[in-house]
Amino acid sequence: MNIYFSCSITGGREDQAIYHILVEYLLSRGHDVPTAHLADPDILTEDSKIDARAVFERDVAWVRESDMVVAEVSTPSHGVGYEIALAASLNKPVFCCYREGKRVSKMILGNSHPLMQIKSYSTSEEAVALVEQFVSANSEKCKKGIIV
């Protein structure tokens, strides 16, 4: 599966360790993750070298080409919200996870799109298990063309 991983960059990197764990899990299962670099601790330095328009065009293309989106939403981010909305508008399955006890936008929590799931986790192991369940539940549908 081609899975777009979305997480905060300029909004804060407090959750970078869990980003890394989730991306490594997806890659270890053979998924293509074009945004794997977002889990790198040096992404702010790398990202500052790229023009904003180029990032926008690249990331929109990656969302369009993806089978599904996995977003870690513990740290608020305009970009992550945009990517989630774009994926939902394209009828892509979207999984949002966040650390238990974090305040998450009601625009995310209240979203009732049928292909969107939002779950909290308390440990990295639980986060991985939730992502695994989501990807597994949606992979066959994507392969069969039930979900475009």
Query: Which residue segment(s) compose the domain that 106 sits in?
Result: 3-143
Question: What's the CATH number where 81 sits?
Answer: 3.40.50.450
Average pLDDT, the chain: 93
What band does 46 get if pLDDT is binned at 50, 70 and 90? confident
Distance, in Å, from the CA atom of 29 to the CA atom of 101, rounded to the nearest integer, reads 29
Is residue 148 situated within a structural domain?
no
CA distance readout (Å), 139 to 33, 39, 81: 14, 23, 23
- The percentage of residues in the chain with a pLDDT greater than 90, rounded to a whole number, is 80
Contact assessment for residue 95 and residue 121, using Cβ atoms and an 8 Å cutoff: no
Which whole number is the average pLDDT over 89-112?
96
The region of weakest confidence among 1-15, 22-36, 56-70 is 1-15
Is residue 99 situated within a structural domain?
yes
* Better-predicted residue by pLDDT, 44 or 78: 78
CA atoms within 13 A on the CB side of 147: 26
Domain count, the chain: 1
Buried b (16+ CB within 10 A) or exposed e, 75-86: bebebbbebbbb
Is the per-residue pLDDT at 64 higher than 60? yes
